[in-house]
A and B are shown apart, each in its own frame.
Chain A
Amino acid sequence: MRIVPLVKQVVDVDQVKADADGNIQTQGVPFKISNYDKNGVEAAVRIKEKNPGTEIVALATGPNIKEGVKEVLAMGCDKAFVINSSEFKGSDTLASSRVIAAAIQKMGGADLIIGGEGSLDAYTGFLGPRLSMRLGIPIVTYAVGLEVQGNLAKVRSNVGGILEDFEVPLPCIVTVSEEINQPRLPALIQILQAGKKPTQEWKLSDVGLSADAVGEAGAGVKILKNQAPKMERKRVRIKGTPEEAAEQLVQALRKEGVF
């Protein structure tokens, strides 16, 4: 069985800041592997532990992905294909799903593709469903449980208060929520070995795509601007003893018509 975890390197969203005009600046912000993708890698490694003979091939994209992919190789992926995302900058999921689908076909397909429920930066959750359409295979999203038995993936998905248990024939795609597991922290030895695991870098042309299939030319959605949300609040500080503060707060809430 071949499992392909999808791994995206994103800007560390905790470190993006708005400039004086409220425009979000990402320049100079360090990259990291989108956290849900690590849950996906962990899920893959756990399946491999129960199913000897499984091969885990990470498919990773990002601006500095040759370096970044080592983290998931250390977690237990056997090898990786990486595509530098500067080649398809400006892509939405319409365009980036072309790249990922083409890469999966180029590597000879996968029995199980695992992604995160969304990426930390854009968090659409659209890539998995789009891939499922392009590859013509079923998908279950927001998995909180995942096992493989024979030719079936058994997936538990949490859809806001309802748990759905699925049986899905392989090949299929599953995207995972962070409740599914706790991604392992690789030991030093695994980190050192990761550098020696086979990693192949592909260009867009290697997967048979031309530049106009991706980036802004290939996208269906354009981001016009990205701005810090405005929060205009009264910012009244209520002072005094707890009793005085409580009394003032009650008066304020009454004036606001809260009760």
Chain B
Amino acid sequence: MGDVLVTAPDAEHGYELLAQAGPLAAQVGGKVVYAALGDQAAQAKEFATRGAHRVLTCSDPALTPYQTEPYTEAYLQLIEKVKPSIVLIGATIRSKDAAARVATKLEVGCGCEIMNLRLDGGRLTGERVYFSGRSLATERLLKDPQIATVPARLVDAPAPQGAGGSVEAVALKLTPPKAKIVKREKKESGSVHLEDADIIVSAGRGIKKKEDLKLAEDLAAALGGQVGCTRPIAADLKWLGDAHWIGLSGHEVKPKAYIGLGVSGQIQHVAGMRSSKIIVAINKDEEAPLVKISDYAVVDDLYKVVPALVQAVKKARGQ
């Protein structure tokens, strides 16, 4: 018995977690408590109407931007106050650090980017990517509180409903972090938000020159989609920015259609796009792994197929 404490560095991510927390709370016979920290305190009602029975807010300036040390303190104090049996934390690069630190202080396990959360044998259970994407491990949290970090975009955010739960401001005791941020700089990502794209045209090493990326851009433009890429295109050749990079170490996407142009489909890339609704491979090698995991494959030279495809799409869309 106990409540489910939910929090995420990003509000949208938080709503998604509320959707997942509801059934868990019902099963353990507890309430869903959302912690709206930093900037989110101002939107407390949003969480209350999206499934939180109770929202705790704290707008202490030490909580913006997200830093590992103050958030470790905040989570520990919230756990102390709520005494939850389950804690779900929206997984980001930084929040995972804080979650692992909290779990260490409490001497319990910490689930890493757990999907398909459920109670199994009465314990929090779910899947996570393992062996660089070659496998999915089913993991179970053995100790209370059961803490798991949960990726974004696994489920849809619930729509607001009714008057919603209660909102209560809490005071947290936060000390200045030892690791000090002296500069914070947004890297240029332009208008690319791969996670929001319905259609992604992904460029791989089959594209021979930077200028030829135009093939991918033209196809994406004709389809109303965005351009993604494999790691070598972003990290080694730097033809495209990190915002385009799909995979284990890049962005995880699930568009309606993913179209790989000269993408071999190595497991680390596939880890970032395997949930795409439709996978299309255009690759001259029929043995390429992406061809084998595709819904539709054209085994041919992309330099011949893509221009024809751009024309066909334009024709079909009356452009």
Contact = CB atoms under 8 A, between A and B. Distances in A.
Interface of A: 11, 13-14, 16, 18, 24, 92-94, 97, 120-126, 128-130, 132-134, 137-142, 155, 158-169, 172, 178-179, 219-229, 231, 233-238, 242-243, 245-247, 249-250, 252-254, 256-259
A130 B278 contact: no
Nearest to B315: A250
Interface in B127-150: 129-143
B92 interface: yes
Chain B interface SS verdict (over half): mixed
Contact of A130 (B100, B242, B248, B313): B100
B295 A234 contact: yes
B262 interface: no
B103 interface: yes
Given A94-B108, A94-B109, A162-B186, A224 B140 contact: yes
A229 B138 CA distance: 11
A222 B183 CA distance: 40
B317 interface: yes
A162 B184 contact: yes
Chain A interface SS verdict (over half): mixed
Contacts of B69: 138
A167 B180 contact: yes
Contacts of A227: 135-136, 138
B185 A163 contact: yes
A236 B178 CA distance: 56
Interface stretch (B25-33, B80-88, B298-306): B298-306
B168 interface: no
A139 B178 CA distance: 9
Interface in B262-319: 274, 277-280, 286, 292-301, 304-305, 307-309, 311-313, 315-317
B139 A94 contact: no
Contact of A94 (B97, B98, B103, B300): B103
12 contacts: A11-B131, A130-B103, A133-B105, A221-B142, A225-B138, A226-B131, A235-B292, A235-B295, A246-B309, A249-B309, A254-B316, A256-B295
